[in-house]
Structure 1
Amino acid sequence: MSQQSRNKGASAPSLHTSAILDQAVAAHRSGNLSDAERTYAAILRGSRTHPIALHMLGLLHAQRGNFADAEPLLKKAARVDPGNPDVLFNYANVLRALNKPDDALAWLAKTIALSPDFADAYVNRGAILMARQELRGAIAEFDRAIAIAPSSAAFANQGSAFQQLGQLDQAHDSYQRAVELVPSNPHNHFVLSEVLAQMGRHDEAIAALEKTVALNKAFPFALSKLVAARRKRGDWRSFEREQAALDEAIESGVAVDPFTFFHTSSSPAHQLTCAKTYVAEVAPDRGAARPRTPSPVSRLRVAYMSADFCNHAVAYLAAGLFEAHDRERFDISAISYGPDDRGKMRDRLKAAFERFEDVSHVPDEDVVKLIRQLDVEVLVDLGGFTAGARPKILARRAAPIQVNYLGFPGTMGASYMDYIMADRIVIPEAEQKYYAEKVIYLPHTYQATDAKRPILPKLPARSEVGLADDAFVYCAFNRTSKITPVLFDVWMRLLGKTAGSVLWLLDADPIARENLRREAVARGIAAERIVFAPFAAADEHLARHQLADLYLDTLPYNAHTAASDALWAGLPVLTCLGTAFAGRVAASLLNAVGLPELVTRSLDEYETLALRIAHDSELRTALKSKLAAHRSTWPLFDTVGMTRHIENAFNEIWRRHRAGEAPASFAV
């Protein structure tokens, strides 16, 4: 908003009124808004068409966020003083805030016609076009603004448009110019960090995040992204300080990325606070009405929404579920807003649904319209707040019933999410108060699994994957970000007490590899006893689990799909029961496959049992034999049975909705 008042074309006020107005404007600019408002109102009582008072009072309301009150005042000011580009500019901005982009563009055009060198008008036109995904048009507007008066805002917006187009070099250059113009603005360093991360320039991205946090430790998401970047690399130099800072941020109402925080937190209460703060910042409840209840049909219309309908963990878990749905009772659609990797899993998923809607390049509001046009009755969100998620679709109430399931292990903290599907291990009944959603309790485990997943019949030799034939292999095929120093201490003590043993980890990042080996040496373990497994195709990855002796789970965020992979491949998983959803998943899976004896209640018990298994070959054989027998007879890998339970849940939540009942927790 512009606080200038050029007063072009308006009649001159009296000297007395001018003096009063000058006082009001001075109070306004000094932040004394109440005094300014009273004075503007008094002037307008004497002259209802006083152009400057109309303009300044409208601007005051806009600065308070009262755009509906500002609009008629600025509209009248623009009519009374049509030759003042500042008035027209501010009126356009209020129209934009009221979600009237066409009108805003028209008034910005009038502003530019009056004042062709009004750089901010071009910037705001570009911002409107960018919101419409008219990115090249937006860039042209920013170029015009920069040619008149290079500004940090113009370069930052231009960088965002380039970034959305995938033109990362141009985005980087624009963001860098924004930083150079206003190095004290944390936002400029933050957006620069994001494009640097996309370019694979992770050291520079971390440095930009450090600068952001140094300028403003409460800058939304900067701290959590910094923590995530460091933990992805196994960089624990500031681990305890960062953990304390995250907890403090949550308690202070700072916006933190929930997916990162859930990896670090053991408190379901803090997780709920985190999710609510995030929702308020990113996808607040706009009070959208539930869509009309569609006319009854013979089949319940269900849509699954995800960014992960591709070669992704969620797809590997749920593909069998989608295929097993009873098509005589359920109409099943996919709403895919993620990338098409053109892989085998993508083809399988396309065949699994009756309709597969690729909305990856469709604006949120149009996705909502599509879901409503399909008369979807139950919308199942598989992403939550994971990478690529689009919670604004849910915030607009795309479907009468909206369910949080599978991809995000915890509450979304949003009033527009009606249910979360869980089980009594991951969400004990006493902890329902930490979930904004009502809980659907599935009978055995919440996690869908796919009993069709192939495992290569021919195993590689241990020597082919860097393992000694006589080594005892502790395996932990999990993301580096899930490994904590306290847990790593336990693992290194296990290696120290198990002669000839190695720890087999996933090789995701060369810096993480070096950091973890350095941490091992610092704990008295030779670096070569940490062995890294490179990326492999899904069937090869499953098969190589059989070369290991025991899978070691992580805490406070368990292995989820990774634990399911290990159990499907026949490798026993040892877990420690956590205190939040993400830390209780492996316990849920082990109970559902009949191996509750592998669920420990403390890290001391976890370490003791791991050593016992490592030193007792008969116990290891018995565990593997039991798992092999249970794999085909216990509920964990009963894909069809799981599908029937989920269908029963869908029927019940729809029955309640049709009966006019509010969502409520229940067990299937």
Structure 2
Amino acid sequence: MNGVLTSPTTNDIKQHRRSVSLNPRDAKAHALLGLALLKDGQLDEGIACLRRALELNPKLRDLRGLLAAALFECGRNEEAADAYRQALRFEDEAELHRGLANSLVRLKRAQEAEPSARRAVELAPRSIPALLCLASTLHGQGNFEDTAAVFRQVLALDPEQVDAQFDLGEMLHRLNRHDEAVDCYRAVVALRPGHVNAHRHMGLSHRHLRQNDAAIACLERAAELVPDNVGVLCDLGATLQMNGNLDKAAPILRKALALDPTSEHALRALAHTAFSMGEWEEAVALSRRLLDMCPAPETHSMLLFILSHCCLDADELTREHFGFGERWEAEWRTQWQPHPNDRDPMRQLRVGFVSADLYNHAVSHFIAPLFQSLKDNPAVALYIYYNNTIDDETSRGMRANVAVWRPIADLDDDAAERLIRADAIDILIDLSGHSARNRLPLFARKPAPVQATYIGYGGTTGMRSMDYILCDQFLVPEGRYDDQFSEQIVRLPSGALFLPDLGAPPVNDLPALKNGYLTFGSFHRASKLSRGVIAHWAKLLHAVPDSRMLLGGLQSGIDDRLIDWFELEGIPRERLLLRPRAPVHEYLKQHYDVDVCLSPFPYTGSTTIGHALWMGVPTLAAIGPTNPSHAAAVFMVHLGLGSFITEDDDTYVKLGIFLAQNTQTLALMRASMRQRLQDSILGYPDVAAAGLELGLRKMWQRWCNGQEPAPLQVRLSELVPASE
């Protein structure tokens, strides 16, 4: 059984059978036959013979360990565990403890296995198999820190244990210690250059570190080793997509999908890539296919996010969003638990925020100033439930401005709900909507008595458990989009903040005065652009025939596509100015070449428009029947520039012509734009924070009074202290 005996011949087994036949109550004869059968791979009959031998003579203790090992080899894990326990009654041996622990790990009873695994290591501290067994029990309990420590012990005994080196890398990856994980994978590759998973996982760790070039190099090497491995191709394609190499990503992901049409990874990554390239029809089709194949809230949210960028039918977009709530929330409505929160309408409120974007992300640029303004406000205590592992200067700054910061990326919805209820949160606020890494299924459980969505998404969640949506008064003008929301609308005096980049370059003179022609521009991400958007802009360029169009923030694979789209609309390449993605200062300086920015539709922008305004550049925008199209209006209306917003194509073109004919007015506007922005409430976080606080208080008071959620308005005049 352990390789000591040579393999038995057929004659040997026949001889042992004859001995058993002649002496049926001879335990030794049964034992010898059992061992011969085990050696011959006839495990089930061999196990039966050993059992019979022990029945005849329980004193044959050495057989118990062999029986246990045979049961383990057969996958009869419960029986193996019992056999190992029987053997351990007679002998406290490392091998037996290891066998028991391994059997229990197979049974997914890792916690029960740990004492045996630790005893095996005590008895044989330099035994690599014993240490690996202990690592397995710790890993089975999700104790990755201690698992990593055990793998380090193994490597100290034998640095060339390639599997242990790789597994250590996996543990460090799970612990988000990606620098150390990369070192482990690099050591594996040094010992075994063809180790595909080491190249692959090293690439994924580099990706987590945002070392995208290194990540791509590792994943390309893995793809060279296994060119038809769907998982490797998906990882490579997705990493290229994240890095902006869309033209390279798309064919790789299409190959992966051709190899495995049922690959969720390939479908998801290709849908993201098509979306990023402005190929909305393909992105929607792939997302619907993904949802049909892998029905889950996150895949449904992905579809809705894409639809919000391209659907011009308000009824269809609303129906699709409301369908999310019916599909994923309905089962929880009957399971909502009561909330014992103290119904004092004026006490300090515990306000929780759930988000994965509390790092250097657009959402943080809006919410971080509010946290800072509310930090010392006795009316509210802020609790953060952070659904990400990225830790940067922005996230650390926000952590310092809130009462409690709780990571929940590794918590399932059950655990997260228990945590929120234990914190006695009064109002829970979602900052993601249907964007990536949202926790809307957590909100479906109704862990807090009052729930709202805010900032992170251009539209409704479609959920009844989401009582309110908090928004700027100009984002959802009263009566215009109300029926597109499952939530009750809370209109705030300021729901859009803009704090300029401290290193922004100064505003320059209007370039049209020097050029003699108007230059339109767009710095929006390519996923907001499409054939329809380009066709719309082309009408304007035809109407102002000497104008130019600057396209900034471009990714690889996008520029040629946009050039083609413009040429199909009769706009030649020489009228287009292309600018790559750039660091913030350079990106802002690219506005030096732009007179008027254009906003895409139906999903417009906020931060991009704010940056343009700070550089003196107004945005001409078309709004439409769906609420996501109205975001562009917020900044412009707050600055008294509502005339730059239209919902009529003819008026849009006429506005462009008017601006081209009135460059002196544009020049004066450019020179005064920063002051105009500074004089507006957009640059005053304290105003936005006060409005938010009062909105939360009104929502809370309705709950305290036993009233259903209802539309609410917070007016600027309400924020002025009574003494004034």
Q: Is the 8 A contact 1:318 1:450 kept in 2?
A: no
- What does residue 54 of structure 2 align with? none
- What does residue 379 of structure 1 align with? 428
Q: Which amino acid aligns with 1:386?
A: S
Inter-partner Cα distance in structure 2 for 1:214 and 1:273? 33
Inter-partner Cα distance in structure 2 for 1:605 and 1:122? 73
Q: 1:363 to 1:224 in 2, by over 3 A?
A: closer
- What does residue 548 of structure 1 align with? 594
One of 395, 399, 407 as aligned partner of 1:359:
407
Structure whose CA Rg is larger: 2
Superposition pairs of residues 451-470 of structure 1, within 5 angstroms = 454=502, 456=504, 458-459=506-507, 469-470=515-516
- What does residue 47 of structure 1 align with? none
Inter-partner Cα distance in structure 2 for 1:444 and 1:185? 54
Q: Which amino acid aligns with 2:428?
A: L
One of 658, 665, 674 as aligned partner of 1:612:
658
- Measured after TM superposition, the shift of residue 92 of structure 1 is 8.1
Decide which moves more: 473-482 or 655-664.
655-664
Q: 1:453 to 1:532 in 2, by over 3 A?
A: closer
Q: Which amino acid aligns with 1:581?
A: N
Inter-partner Cα distance in structure 2 for 1:659 and 1:575? 42
- What does residue 28 of structure 2 align with? none
- Which runs of 5 or more structure 2 residues have no equivalent in the other structure? 1-42, 50-76, 87-100, 119-128, 156-162, 187-196, 202-218, 715-724
Q: Which amino acid aligns with 2:377?
A: R
Q: Is the 8 A contact 1:285 1:414 kept in 2?
A: no
Inter-partner Cα distance in structure 2 for 1:178 and 1:10? 47
- What does residue 574 of structure 1 align with? 620
Q: Is the 8 A contact 2:518 2:548 kept in 1?
A: yes
- What does residue 501 of structure 1 align with? 547
Q: Secondary structure at 1:650's aligned position in 2?
A: helix
Q: 1:635 to 1:363 in 2, by over 3 A?
A: same
Q: Secondary structure at 1:584's aligned position in 2?
A: helix
Cα displacement string for residues 385-444 of structure 1 (whole angstroms, at most 9, x for unaligned residues): 4345555665676544332211222233456544322357548758656545x2232145
Cα displacement string for residues 59-116 of structure 1 (whole angstroms, at most 9, x for unaligned residues): xxxxxxxxxxxxxxx9999999999xxxx999989979xxxx746999999xxxxxxx
- What does residue 490 of structure 2 align with? 441
Q: Is the 8 A contact 2:488 2:709 kept in 1?
A: no
- What does residue 307 of structure 1 align with? 356
- Measured after TM superposition, the shift of residue 479 of structure 1 is 0.8
- Measured after TM superposition, the shift of residue 614 of structure 1 is 2.3
Q: 1:125 to 1:433 in 2, by over 3 A?
A: farther
- Measured after TM superposition, the shift of residue 474 of structure 1 is 0.9
Q: 1:197 to 1:555 in 2, by over 3 A?
A: closer
1:330 aligns with 2:376: no
1:206 aligns with 2:250: yes
Inter-partner Cα distance in structure 1 for 2:669 and 2:552? 24
Superposition pairs of residues 184-203 of structure 1, within 5 angstroms = 190=234, 193-194=237-238
- Measured after TM superposition, the shift of residue 651 of structure 1 is 0.9
- What does residue 536 of structure 2 align with? 490
Q: 1:371 to 1:606 in 2, by over 3 A?
A: same
Decide which moves more: 592-601 or 451-460.
451-460
TM-score computed with the length of structure 2 as normaliser: 0.61
- What does residue 401 of structure 1 align with? 450
Q: Which amino acid aligns with 2:496?
A: A
Q: Is the 8 A contact 1:159 1:173 kept in 2?
A: no
- Measured after TM superposition, the shift of residue 482 of structure 1 is 1.0
Q: Secondary structure at 2:557's aligned position in 1?
A: helix
Q: 1:453 to 1:367 in 2, by over 3 A?
A: farther
Inter-partner Cα distance in structure 1 for 2:513 and 2:139? 55
Inter-partner Cα distance in structure 2 for 1:137 and 1:395? 39
Decide which moves more: 470-479 or 292-301.
292-301
- What does residue 339 of structure 1 align with? 390
One of 496, 517, 525 as aligned partner of 1:479:
525
Q: Is the 8 A contact 1:395 1:416 kept in 2?
A: yes
Q: Is the 8 A contact 1:471 1:501 kept in 2?
A: yes
Cα displacement string for residues 270-320 of structure 1 (whole angstroms, at most 9, x for unaligned residues): 541675599689x99995746642686842222334333343322222333
- What does residue 632 of structure 2 align with? 586
Inter-partner Cα distance in structure 2 for 1:334 and 1:189? 36
One of 696, 699, 704 as aligned partner of 1:650:
696
Q: 1:514 to 1:159 in 2, by over 3 A?
A: farther
- Measured after TM superposition, the shift of residue 328 of structure 1 is 3.0
Inter-partner Cα distance in structure 2 for 1:444 and 1:619? 29
Q: 1:371 to 1:483 in 2, by over 3 A?
A: same
Q: Which amino acid aligns with 1:598?
A: F
Q: 1:568 to 1:375 in 2, by over 3 A?
A: farther
Give the count of matched residue pairs: 587
Q: Secondary structure at 2:548's aligned position in 1?
A: strand
Q: Which amino acid aligns with 1:480?
A: A
One of 271, 293, 303 as aligned partner of 2:341:
293
TM-score computed with the length of structure 1 as normaliser: 0.66
Inter-partner Cα distance in structure 2 for 1:517 and 1:222? 28
Q: Which amino acid aligns with 2:458?
A: P
Inter-partner Cα distance in structure 1 for 2:370 and 2:175? 39
1:228 aligns with 2:272: yes
| Alignment RMSD | 5.9
Inter-partner Cα distance in structure 2 for 1:106 and 1:614? 80
- Which runs of 5 or more structure 1 residues have no equivalent in the other structure? 12-73, 110-116, 144-149
Q: 1:508 to 1:106 in 2, by over 3 A?
A: farther
Q: 1:451 to 1:474 in 2, by over 3 A?
A: same
Inter-partner Cα distance in structure 2 for 1:308 and 1:77? 48
Q: Secondary structure at 1:649's aligned position in 2?
A: helix
Q: 1:599 to 1:611 in 2, by over 3 A?
A: same
